[in-house]
Amino acid sequence: EMSTELALLKNLNLDAILVCLNDYDSVNFIKKVKELDIKAEILGNEHIGGVINGGLLDTDTADGIYFVDFSLPSEDFIQNFKEVYNKEPGLYSDTAYDTVYLIAKVIEQYGIDSESIRKGLKEVKYTGASGEISFDENNFPSNKQFELILIKNGQFVPYEE
């Protein structure tokens, strides 16, 4: 229950509220902000896209929210996905696609045991739906860029000043 805290926030006339909560608390927080008609911009982390794609938060309620996540899928991927599945891809569809095919390529080239897969992920060159994939020394994707995304009219759109 966040009503007391949100009533206090409303009275502060804030410009923005940064939401860094787990999925379910984010949904409840955002719904309550909208219900109380708090005018502050809502800024969130990658969980915001996940709760929308997972059906926990509808895009009407989320309209106008900004969140940071990996770049959106390419137009080619979106078009191909729509042709095959007759619907828009979700926020992580290109990443999920690339994960499956990257692991398959690594297993094919390096072997199926965990040490071979670990080695292969460090060495393999793979270009997929989300672009060229490689990993840095800390095992993070080195090609993925973060982007500020706005939920506008039910769509995820890159924020433009």
Averaged pLDDT score across all residues of the chain? 88
List the beta bridge partners of residue 148. Answer: 68
Provide the token pair at 94.
């290109």
Do 9 and 64 belong together in one domain?
A: yes
| pLDDT of amino acid 42 | 94
Report helix, strand or coil for 42. Answer: strand
* Domain housing 67: 3-71+145-158
Q: 87 in a domain, yes or no?
A: yes
Do 34 and 91 belong together in one domain?
A: no
**CA angle (78, 91, 109) in 5-degree steps:** 75
In tens, the pLDDT along 77-112 reads 889 999 999 988 876 788 889 999 999 999 999 999
* The 16-19 sheet, strands edge to edge: 16-19, 41-44, 66-70, 146-152, 155-158
Q: 31 in a domain, yes or no?
A: yes
Q: 115 in a domain, yes or no?
A: yes
Q: 36 in a domain, yes or no?
A: yes
Do 81 and 48 belong together in one domain?
A: no
Tally of domains within the chain: 2
- The HSE-up count of residue 85 (CA atoms within 13 Å, CB side) is 11
